[in-house]
Amino acid sequence: ELVPVRCRIPDLLIKLGKDQQWLADKTGKSRQKISDYCHMRTVMNIRTAALIAYFLSCKIDDLYIWEWR
């Protein structure tokens, strides 16, 4: 099974020079929810992943590091 093992949102935000609050404002999600995604407390659904990927200018697959288990 392919599973997400680490969220790359923090890395992608640094690359863009942005922070979690910026992403929260752009997506309409709370800053706490963005933090939950970043720390893997919650795995986002496909619609949220597509929205976040759009604002981070990446592919949905780029939001996580994936491993086979």
In the prediction, which pLDDT does 60 show? 97
In the prediction, which pLDDT does 13 show? 98
pTM of the model: 0.93
Instruction: Write out the two tokens for 13.
Output: 């935000």
How crowded is the C-beta side of 54, counted as CA atoms within 13 Å? 8
Distances (CA, A) of 39 to 22, 33, 34: 17, 10, 9
Confidence of residue 66 (pLDDT cuts 50, 70, 90): very high
- Alpha-carbon Rg for the chain in angstroms: 11
